[in-house]
Structure 1
Amino acid sequence: MSDSGKLAAFLRARRRITHVEDVGLPPMGGRRRTPGLRREEVAMLAGISIDYYARLEQGRERNPSGQVVTAIARALGLDRQTTAHLLELARPTAERAGPPAAEDEVDGNVLRLLSHWHHAPAYVVNHRLDVLAGNRAADALYEGLWHRDNLLRLALLDPAARDFYVDWERDTRMKVAHLRSAAGTTAEDPRLADLIRELSEASEDFRRMWDMHEVRRRTREKVRFRRPEVGVVHTTMEVLSVDGSFGQKIVVFQGEPGSVSERALASLARRGAGKPTVWPRPPDRPRPGIRPPASGPAPPEAP
């Protein structure tokens, strides 16, 4: 899709999910034929002509100024992160940085750091959410799941993921929003395009979430996992940038000190003590006729 096409699709999607009450307009009488704001309402709030805004949504206006884009973001009530994404979409692809050839090489110092976290599951991902490396604790936490080479393939294509991620809908939407951000703010990446095409063809849930045009960078979050051996594990996810790399992030999960979940993570990590120090092993793929084991009931988390 062209730059103007991406911008147009984003504007249409965000307008349709923004309601008059969200931007301080009085409710209109009668039932609207379509949800969300009308074009003329966005144009009025942004202080631009209806014709100009219509050309943006139709992909016929290719070079809106930063001032205009910021005004539209304000009219749609976008937060800072989504506004930054919109500004990136308005930039020509030639001005964006594309992934270098060595984007998936993980520095040896980072690998050593991961291996020193014995009870905290941690792995390195790139902007496509490919898992480039992980420690033993992460290997034990994700044991038995398929598609562990990519977090979105795992969440959307492995049926067991809906049980593994206790808050599957929220967690998966967050991952899709991250991918949407990566797709809109970097130069053309054939592997990213292939991943989006693969997920679009294979998953109705991905198509639904992708069409929301939500944008979110992964940062600190509460994440709950369910393992048959230990039940529900409550963690805090931290996402750390790897300086000097193209979009690489360290993702690490920790349980509350002294909690049942911290002890559960330590128990899982001990199960993987005899395995290789880090991922990746060959990408896991489904085997015909074989399904993951069902998880057992989850005990309540201790306070």
Structure 2
Amino acid sequence: MVGMGSVNELGDYLRARRAMITPRDVGLPDGADRRVPGLRRDEVALLAGVSTDYYIRLEQGRERHPSEQVLRAIAGALRLDGAAAGHLFRLGLPVIATAAAAPTVAAELLRLMDGMRDVPAFVVGAAQDVLAANAMARELYRGFARYDNLLRMIFLDPFAREFYADWDNAARTAVGNLRASSSQFPGNERIERVVGELSVRSPAFTGLWARYEVRPRTREDKHFRHPHVGELRLHFEALAVTGAPGQHLSVYSAEPGSAGADALALLRRSAEQDSAPTGQGTPIQDTPAAEGEFRS
């Protein structure tokens, strides 16, 4: 399992990130005789203003106490954005205790989703488990065998290839988001279980996980192919639940008068026909998150 439980996770991260930067990206000559993908270790050292020997020791795990100044220089050399640089600091600097990820959804948030009758809304946890969902969200994802964990659905359910118009982007985005969550909650047992299971069962996941891209998903435009409604082009927003660390309220919406809005109206009619009498904003009680398992 790349990057989970590694004895040298900082080194793993540095190697993965420098492999994704070309000399041309940083203004260095790009010769034809290069033996490694991306930058060499001496090139990263040069760009960061540290000795090659020091950088090699850092990457090999023989230097375990870099300063914040050195990490900032390396982040700049590797062209890391805010989320990726933040992960580098968490790996390289003394660990600061973080709040544990919240496993259950507050009743107040469930009531809020009850009132969101025109848009799909659901709550995901740190490991991307679907913890609660309204009727619109259940209807949106109805083609999946299980509506339980977004990573499992994307990588292990064949329906995902039909549902996501751009499956490659959906997969890469989901893995980057899980990386960001694993950075925020290091050692989280549930995240490690999800990563372990997917690493065994999905080569596609393993390849993306090894890229070490840390990209929290907060907003984007999505294109779905629903088995009953057809094409849906929706805007996605993930809103952090401040009272529950690791939880996000995910909401899909569309511009009024757009084709996406018309598709949502169809989705609502379908959801109303199938909605359970218990209400819309209900916990997902039959998921692996609730049972403590991870299965397809």
Q: Indicate whether the TM-score tops 0.5.
A: yes
Tell me the CA shift for residue 145 of structure 1: 0.6
- Aligned residue identity for 1:131: V
1:268 maps onto 2:272 in alignment:
no
Quick one: distance in 2 between partners of 1:16 and 1:127?
A: 28
Provide the residue aligned with 1:283 in structure 2: 287
- Aligned residue identity for 1:262: A
3-state SS, counterpart of residue 272 of structure 1: helix
RMSD: 1.6
Please list the CA deviations of residues 172-222 of structure 1 after superposition, one character each: whole Å capped at 9, or x if unmatched.
Answer: 111101111222332311221111000000001001100111110111100
Aligned pair count reads 280
Provide the residue aligned with 1:13 in structure 2: 16
Provide the residue aligned with 2:224 in structure 1: 225
Quick one: distance in 1 between partners of 2:264 and 2:285?
A: 21
Name which of 19, 36, 45 aligns with 2:38: 36
Provide the residue aligned with 1:172 in structure 2: 171
Provide the residue aligned with 1:64 in structure 2: 66
Quick one: distance in 1 between partners of 2:242 and 2:283?
A: 21
Query: Structure 1: which 5+ runs fail to align?
Result: 285-303
Quick one: distance in 2 between partners of 1:62 and 1:4?
A: 11
- Aligned residue identity for 1:38: R
Query: How has the CA–CA distance of structure 1 residues 170 and 193 changed in structure 2, closer, same or farther, with 3 Å as cutoff?
Result: same
Please list the CA deviations of residues 70-96 of structure 1 after superposition, one character each: whole Å capped at 9, or x if unmatched.
Answer: 100101111122111211121344x23
Tell me the CA shift for residue 258 of structure 1: 0.9
1:190 maps onto 2:192 in alignment:
no
Provide the residue aligned with 1:154 in structure 2: 153
Provide the residue aligned with 2:85 in structure 1: 83
Quick one: distance in 1 between partners of 2:93 and 2:7?
A: 9
- Aligned residue identity for 1:157: L
Q: Contact 2:128–2:149 (CA<8 Å) still a contact in 1?
A: yes
Provide the residue aligned with 2:30 in structure 1: 27
Query: How has the CA–CA distance of structure 1 residues 211 and 3 changed in structure 2, closer, same or farther, with 3 Å as cutoff?
Result: closer
Quick one: distance in 1 between partners of 2:127 and 2:243?
A: 17
Tell me the CA shift for residue 98 of structure 1: 4.8
Quick one: distance in 2 between partners of 1:220 and 1:198?
A: 27
Quick one: distance in 1 between partners of 2:157 and 2:198?
A: 12
TM-score (norm 1): 0.88
Tell me the CA shift for residue 64 of structure 1: 0.9
Give the stretch that moved more between structures: 84-93 or 191-200.
Answer: 84-93
- Aligned residue identity for 1:51: D
Q: Contact 2:165–2:224 (CA<8 Å) still a contact in 1?
A: yes
Q: Contact 1:235–1:253 (CA<8 Å) still a contact in 2?
A: yes
3-state SS, counterpart of residue 12 of structure 1: helix
Please list the CA deviations of residues 231-263 of structure 1 after superposition, one character each: whole Å capped at 9, or x if unmatched.
Answer: 110000011111111111011001221112212
Please list the CA deviations of residues 97-155 of structure 1 after superposition, one character each: whole Å capped at 9, or x if unmatched.
Answer: 1525xx12211121111111112101001111111111110011111312321100000
Q: Contact 1:161–1:168 (CA<8 Å) still a contact in 2?
A: yes
Q: Contact 2:83–2:180 (CA<8 Å) still a contact in 1?
A: no
Quick one: distance in 2 between partners of 1:113 and 1:10?
A: 39
Quick one: distance in 1 between partners of 2:45 and 2:183?
A: 23
3-state SS, counterpart of residue 8 of structure 2: helix
1:99 maps onto 2:100 in alignment:
yes
Give the stretch that moved more between structures: 239-248 or 176-185.
Answer: 176-185
- Aligned residue identity for 2:97: R
Tell me the CA shift for residue 264 of structure 1: 1.4
Tell me the CA shift for residue 280 of structure 1: 1.0
- Aligned residue identity for 1:70: R
3-state SS, counterpart of residue 18 of structure 1: coil
Runs of 4 or more off by more than 4 Å in structure 1?
1-4
3-state SS, counterpart of residue 235 of structure 1: strand
- Aligned residue identity for 1:42: V
Query: Structure 2: which 5+ runs fail to align?
Result: 289-296
TM-score (norm 2): 0.90
Quick one: distance in 2 between partners of 1:155 and 1:2?
A: 24
Tell me the CA shift for residue 281 of structure 1: 4.2
